[in-house]
A and B are shown apart, each in its own frame.
Chain A
Amino acid sequence: MTRPTRRRTVLLAAVTAAALVASACGRDSGGDDAPAEGEAVSQGKASGEINVWAMGTEGEKLSVLADDFMKDNPDAKVNVTAVPWDGAHNKISAAIAGQQTPDVTMLGTTWIGEFAKTGALDVVPSDFVSEEDFFPGAWETGVVDGTSYSVPWYVETRLLYVNSAVAEKAGITEPPATWDELKQAVKDMQEKGGAKWGTYLQPGQTGSWQTVVPFIWQNGGDVYDGENFTLDSPEATEALEYYQSFYTEGLSTKDRLREGETEPKILSGEIGSFVSGPWHIGLLNELGGEGKFELWPMPSGPGEANSFIGGSNMSVFKESKNRDAAWKFVSYLMQPEVQVKWYQTVNDLPAVQKAWDDEALSGDEQLKIFGDQLDKAKAPPSIPTWEQIAAGVDTELEKIAKGTATPADAAKAMQAQATSIGSGG
């Protein structure tokens, strides 16, 4: 048996131990929270070495864009390091602690809060990257306490994937626009459409908040108002009741489906619909699902028809020895035509709105639905403790789905946990 705990402890402790020379302890109090502006970036072409970390497929393919960039900037050399997603969070933490950061790194949208708080991220130079170019929900993911630390690179949002045959048999011609219509559509797909389950909503556990928090938004509520958590507000509790009703009415299974289990079930019509992001277009098509499924935008409750926005951002580290060139590279990635090329390379949806005018994207019916949803997509609060709070929310959602807690009790428990963890400010 290996001992991950020990190993992690050892690793992290080694980092601390290295710095344990002699110094009085005690945290700096204060620290001004006023929004900061990034320093201006020099004009002209980039030069020198730029070290970039990127995760997953993006890490493997980013060199394609880096090569183009180096053609335009012959004096610059971009070194891309591919980092596996699993280890990325730790690797970046360790790099910050050891002050051995690269110049640029890709960051998950929910990580910005915590890494910004370490003070290691450079403030986005506002004269160099402009907010208006991006989807507002995406831009917000990079903003912590009013200061922008990160630029959205690509985005994703969630829609309902629906088995067309089941929907047709159920007599559904228009995507449902409201909560009541959605519930009815799901019921019809089960009763008339022949699906065993009208829908599949993830019954709690890791990441289920991404499905449920949009319900709270759609109901006109929110999870955090900038000072306090509002997870037990009437709007939130109602949203949780709506979520639970899918299980109590037998419309969704309470058993969690593992990776790879959902796709065959949706294509066979065993499940009528499920909520997921753009990557599922490719996954379903690979299984021969082309033309067998359709996409529905999120319904609205009393509030707006919001969905969850995710994706990844690009940040520059303060310690960067080549800061100006680093920002030039980041801003290059955000040019509309580069964003389109990136979409064509790895199918990542552009965070820059103008890129969506390109034929490659606007010509695709299914993508267009994603594009429209992105206008009404929100991000979770960019506070350092969000991942931990979300884990607590996931636990309570599981209780709701399994019926071991009432939505009201679960909402109180979420609120209490979130409040005791705090916003990390």
Chain B
Amino acid sequence: MSARPGALTRALTGWAFALPFAALFLVFTAGPVLASLLMSLTDLGRADLLDPLGVNIVGLDNYVRLFGDPKFVTASVNTAVFVVVGVPLTMAVGLLVALGLNSGLIKFRALFRVGYYLPVVTSIVAISVVWRFLLQPETGLLNELLGLVGIAGPNWLNNETFALPTLIVMGAWRNLGFAMVIFLAGLQAIPKDLYEAATIDGARKWAQLRYLTVPMLRPTMLFVAVITTIGYVQFFEEPFVMTQGGPLDSTLSMAFHTYNQFGFGNYGYASAMGYVLFVVVVLLSIAWFRLLRNNLD
């Protein structure tokens, strides 16, 4: 059997299998990504719809304008706060729940697992309706409970100080189920004999958590961190359904601002924003992967 025809056939077969994906990827993902990069260098707007090539090339003007746009700066700060507070919060709560489910409550484990995971798969529209009821200033459950202990709760979603924190908590609640599931898998992969050895060495529960569970979970944590960060940088749905970016832009996110600019027909400018967001996601992912690699070595 000669090697060459065989290799060729194999290569062809391989390409044939890869072709549908490669073609779709090139046409519907890579192409548009490249096109929007080009768009971001032009002043393409709605009036150019019939003649998209008849636009002016403005170079990096859109990018320069971005950083002088007070709304964009506000949106960037809000997004940063959402990520910096939201990611650790989601992970911490997710880990706590996973630890709880992994130890006690064995009887209801499946039930709780479903319960905590449910928000992840529930439509944000349904969630927003329920949350708005809970957060109603006068009749909402939250403020009624606070009233029982003598605290007059604020109008959560209409208050510039509380609106963003409220959305952070909501985001964490929505996404902790995902973190929990991954953490549970991670916890179950830790060999039992390590705990036995630790017990024999006299390590108590807290020491076991601190020096055994957490270090063993590192790779899992970093995975959850990467995924959650990427999701949170593109923070959009919560303000879209709950606050429309208000009050006074206190919940305006980068993705939401970009969405608005597309809506106004400023395609060039909005593409530039999309690209800034894209670069931020790429940089953060690289940073996380560096950390991940160092830890695995």
Contacts and interface: CB of A to CB of B under 8 A. Distances in A.
Interface in A1-32: 1-6, 8-17, 19-20, 23-28
Interface in B10-66: 28-29, 31-36, 38-39, 42, 44-57
Contacts of A97: 49-50, 52
17 contacts: A3-B236, A10-B29, A17-B32, A17-B35, A19-B52, A19-B53, A25-B42, A25-B54, A27-B56, A28-B54, A118-B49, A205-B246, A258-B132, A387-B264, A388-B264, A388-B266, A402-B160
A183 B56 CA distance: 51
Interface residues of B, number: 56
B285 interface: no
A8 B32 CA distance: 10
A20 B38 contact: yes
A13 B49 CA distance: 11
Contact of B231 (A1, A8, A119): A1
B50 A120 contact: yes
A114 interface: yes
B53 A25 contact: yes
Interface string A109-120: 000001101111
Interface in A29-50: none
A424 interface: yes
B32 A13 contact: yes
B164 to A, nearest CB: 16
Q: Which of B34, B237, B267 has the most CB of A within 10 A?
A: B267
Given A25-B42, A114-B265, A384-B47, A10 B53 contact: no
A20 B53 contact: yes
Contact of B248 (A115, A385, A404): A404
Contacts of B45: 424
A245 interface: no
Contacts of A120: 49-50
Contacts, number: 152
Interface residues of A, number: 53
B53 A117 contact: no
B137 interface: yes
Contacts of B155: 255
B33 A10 contact: yes
A8 B262 CA distance: 8
A256 interface: yes
Contacts of A13: 31-33, 35-36, 39, 271
A89 B48 CA distance: 15
A185 B54 CA distance: 56
Interface in A392-425: 395, 398-399, 402, 404, 424
B244 interface: yes
Given A1-B231, A402-B247, A16 B39 contact: yes
A19 B54 CA distance: 11
A392 to B, nearest CB: 9
Nearest to A119: B50
B247 A256 contact: yes
A399 B248 contact: yes
B128 to A, nearest CB: 10
